[in-house]
Structure 1
Amino acid sequence: MMETKRSTLAVILITSLFFLWGFAHNLDPILIPHLKRSFTLTTVQATLVDSAVFIAYFIMALPAGIIMKKYGYKSGIIIGLLIFSVGCYLFLPAAQVQSYNFFLAALFIIACGLTILETAANPYITLVGKPETSTFRLNLAQSFNGLAASLAPIIGGKLILVEGVSDGALAKMDLAARKSVLASEAASVQGPYFVLGSILVILAVIFYFIKLPDIRTNNEGRTKRSFWGVFKHKQLSWAIAAQFFYVGAQVSVFSLFILYATKSAGITEKEATYYLGVCGFAFLIGRFFTTFLMRFFKAHHLLVTYAFISILLCFVAIMASGITTVYAVIGICFFMSVMFPTIFSLGIKDLKEDTELGSSLIIMSIVGGAILPRFFGYLSDGTGNIQNGYYIPLACFAVIMLFGLKGQKITRNDIINQPNEIL
């Protein structure tokens, strides 16, 4: 009975982490237009927000796994929360000194904490409680991540995107007055991130004092595998590539939505934040609905269908005008909602003793979110039309469709005669 209560408490606390990192990620689309205006950035320069975040995933994925093995999941979660909170608190001096690079450094530190949290929470929530309900627990937790995706843009838009001086009036000011106005607007991030940082510290303290199941991976008796040998799994190699392009597409769609919608549909930033909230809600509904459909259809068939529909919607986002473009992007958010977990699960299927390394490599491929939005920005700035940037997500969904058609197929002779030492 006591162990059951501990497992239930663990699930509740860990589920809160899914919401918190989902909330943090979905504040980035609010930060991009906010910082773009505050520091007079180009679209390409503004995408450095995503670069700072997702490069951290590439750098920290393997170290995070080492932390879990050495100190356990609970300690990993506490470390992740504290690093996450440090990054939030750094927003205060970043706004004070008016340095874009300072903001990027703070975002990088936040993302380091998020990487550790995600590396710990995803497997931990499947390990606490009954094994037969592990999938349900993970899906339940992921739904709160989707909930955060719908709430963060609305809440962040109200708190961060303050009603400031118009661009026309700003252009007529002298340099000193313009800097003063922009500095005042930039300071709007301090309050929300201070509150978020404080919540994280409180949560870390709770995790420290609450007794939770201490689960650690036991590697005794396992044969050591070659690092490079893991790439002989065809489905894993394809999944790493597909996840790279998927995350690049998702970040391009969500993070640049406000910049896109204000240009393509001619709406205000405030209105765009509400539509971004609808995008998050569509993402959440898509995850629930498609999970239901997977009872009747094979996952890779749904992946191919969803990727194809997303390609068609990208064409609409490029060619159409007015509010139709916004509706097309909302549709994309619905159909890409289950791509990440589907690619992940198909990629690590039947890896057996290579599962841990394969999982880390797929997590590292999240770096696509740091790279591909830059190309979105280059294409938008180079052509003078932000709608053309959607050729990038279009190409990404084409790769995902290929993965669903052929890349997810498992080969049975892909780990024969591998060396037993780690290179």
Structure 2
Amino acid sequence: MAGFQGTTTYKPGGTSDSAAKNYGFALTALTSLFFMWGFITCLNDILIPHLKSVFDLNYTQAMLIQFCFFGAYFAVSLPAGALVKRIGYRNGIVTGLLVASVGCLMFYPAAGTVSYPLFLGALFVLASGITVLQVSANPYVTALGDSATASSRLNLTQAFNSLGTTVAPFFGAMLILSSATIGMETMADAQSEADAVKLPYLLLASMLAVLAIVFSQLKLPQIDSHAPIRRDVASSTSAWSYPHLVLGALGIFLYVGAEVSIGSFLVNFLGQENIAGIEEAEAAHYIAYYWGGAMVGRFIGAALMRHIHPGLLLACNSVGSVVLISIAILGSGSLAMWAILLVGLCNSIMFPTIFSLALNRLGEHTSQGSGILCLAIVGGALIPLLQGMLADNIGIQLSFVLPVVCYIYICYYGIKGTEVRAD
């Protein structure tokens, strides 16, 4: 792995006092990144209704926002993995922050010209930067310490990602939706509405640029290699040779798809007369319980994984999700409402746990493996569309059978799919 200038060298298997001291500092610095990309990702939930109103879009056109955002993971993840392998994790983080900052800046001309294609282009660039961050930061966290506690560390940092997703809608509603105009009739109204995104995204661009400068100057532990590869798998020439990585990539695809899909349908689900029958504005407040549950669960999961095998905990949470969604499908009223909201608590540990288990013992192939896993995040663009097709044909409530199938597979992965071997 390419070295970092001015960094403390760390080789897995040995922990010096100076390196150990740097772990806490490095993890603290990385936590800010997890918060930022969670915050930015969740702002899409505000952009969708806002831009739908500005450009008078139908739901299919509005969902292009998610397609462009999650499509960037599909397009950029593998090149990002190769880039990070060449320039190193810290430089990869700086690059990702700068690209994301440029994406945020692109919202200014997009709003100025009231151009939906430019908004979509800005989202793609922004998500490309976040993809590079994901490819760099996730494996870096798993490498900063004992591999046996990698899932615990990643869950702890991902908890702050969930904090970002929990608070972002409140800020987005205040800065973007607070000036919404009902029933726009003129181009001037559309321009005013489009301009509402300028300030928040300029602020985000500035914060990301500052973080890039800070990380370029930080003295972080250098990761020369990851945990030693077992002798029986050391001859593998590609990360694709590891079944536990490939199965984990499918797990990431299904998990992200299920999580995003549930979140996308929550407001409509809660609006059903046999569930809660509440208006959209009121239903939106309950989404905080969904994302907040994921945040709380990650703090709990980080502690539990010190004593419980990550794969077993992953399987248990998957079973919990299946049970809760089944209650939501078959039940009604407040029982069904709270059952679907509590799925967020079960979701909590899934992404970081699958991610860390899939990267286990990949050695020199870790950055490539990280790119493959981030590639699989494209499930967030495809699974919601499939559930949308089901909802159109069999109803919203029954359409949640699709996430059930996703969680059943994740349960299998936690129990059987994490064994490290090479084909």
Q: TM-score range by the shorter chain?
A: 0.7 to 0.9
Is 1:78 paired with 2:78?
no
Structure 2 letter corresponding to 1:93: P
Following TM superposition, by how much is the alpha carbon of 1:63 offset from its aligned partner in structure 2, in angstroms? Answer: 1.8
User: Is contact 1:52-1:107 (8 Å) kept?
Assistant: yes
Q: Check conservation: 1:23, 1:145, Cα contact below 8 A.
A: yes
Q: 2:322 aligns with which of 311, 318, 324?
A: 311
Matched, 1:302 2:313: yes
Alignment partners' CA distance in 2, 1:395 and 1:287: 23
The alpha-carbon deviation at position 312 of structure 1 amounts to 3.0
Q: Spell out the pairing of 1:4-403 with structure 2 (5 A cutoff).
A: 8-127=24-143, 137-162=153-178, 164-166=180-182, 170=183, 177=185, 179-217=187-225, 225-227=236-238, 230-262=239-271, 265-321=276-332, 323-351=334-362, 354-380=365-391, 382-383=392-393, 385-403=395-413
The Cα of 1:247 is off from its aligned counterpart by: 0.9
Change (3 A) 1:210 1:47: same
Q: Cα deviations across residues 167-192 of structure 1 (Å, max 9, x unaligned)?
A: xxx3xx7xxx1554444334322221
Match of 1:421 in 2: none
Q: CA deviation at 1:234?
A: 3.4
Alpha-carbon separation, structure 1, partners of 2:190 and 2:107: 16
2:323 alignment partner AA: L
CA separation of 1:238/1:103 partners in 2, compared to 1, >3 Å: closer, same or farther?
same
Asked if the contact 2:153–2:302 (Cα under 8 Å) also holds between the matched residues in 1, the reply is: no
Q: After alignment, is 353-362 or 83-92 more displaced?
A: 353-362
Provide the rounded CA distance (Å) in 2 between the counterparts of 1:127 and 1:314.
35
Q: What is the number of residues matched between the two proteins? A: 401
Q: Which moved more, 1:293-302 or 1:330-339?
A: 293-302
Structure 1 residue 345: Cα displacement: 3.1
Task: Using the TM superposition, name which of 7-16 and 129-138 deviates more.
Answer: 129-138
Q: Distance in 2 between matches of 1:89 and 1:338?
A: 33
Gaps of 5+ in 1: 416-423
Superposition TM-score, scaled by structure 1 size: 0.82
1:7–1:129 Cα contact (<8 Å) kept: yes
Tell me by how many angstroms 1:259 deviates.
Answer: 4.8
8 Å CA contact 1:56–1:108 kept in 2: the answer is yes
| DSSP-derived class of the 1:267 partner | coil
Task: Note the C-alpha offset of 1:193.
Answer: 1.2
CA deviation string 1:200-240 (max 9, x = no partner): 11222222344444545599x9977444xx54543333222
Q: Distance in 1 between matches of 2:281 and 2:132?
A: 33
Indicate how the Cα distance of structure 1 residues 350 and 388 shifts in structure 2: closer, same or farther if over 3 A, else same: same
Supply the distance in 1 between the matched residues of 2:334 and 2:187 (Cα, whole angstroms): 34
* 2:178 partner SS: coil
- Mapped to 2, the partners of 1:404 and 1:218 lie a distance apart of 22
SS in 2 for 1:162: helix
Counterparts of 1:238 and 1:10, CA distance in 2: 30
Structure-2 separation of matches of 1:210 and 1:297 = 34
Give the whole-Å Cα distance in 2 for the aligned partners of 1:59 and 1:133: 31
Residue 407 (1) aligns with residue 417 (2)? yes
Percent identity between the aligned chains? Answer: 40
Decide which moves more: 289-298 or 326-335: 289-298
The worse-fitting range, judged by mean Cα deviation, of 106-115 and 263-272 is 263-272
By how many angstroms is 1:361 displaced?
2.0
How far 1:342 sits from its partner (Å)?
A: 2.3
Native 8 Å contact 1:50 1:370 kept in 2? yes
Alpha-carbon distance in 2 for matches of 1:50, 1:202: 27
RMSD: 3.3
Q: How far 1:282 sits from its partner (Å)?
A: 0.5
Offset, 1:74: 2.4
**Alpha-carbon distance between aligned partners in 1 of 2:394 and 2:47, rounded to the nearest angstrom:** 22
CA 1:129–1:346 in structure 2 vs 1: closer, same or farther (change >3 Å)? closer
Deviates more, 1:231-240 or 1:197-206: 231-240
Give unpaired runs (5+ residues) of structure 2. 1-16
Partner Cα separation in structure 2 for residue 309 and residue 131 of structure 1: 27
8 A Cα contact 2:226 2:366, kept in partner: no
In the alignment, is the contact (CA less than 8 A) between 1:69 and 1:216 conserved in 2? no
1:16 deviation in Å?
Answer: 0.8
CA distance in 2, matches of 1:402, 1:244: 14
Q: In 2, distance between residues paired with 1:253 and 1:311?
A: 13
Cα offset, 1:255, TM superposition: 4.0
Q: 2:204 corresponds to which letter in structure 1? A: L
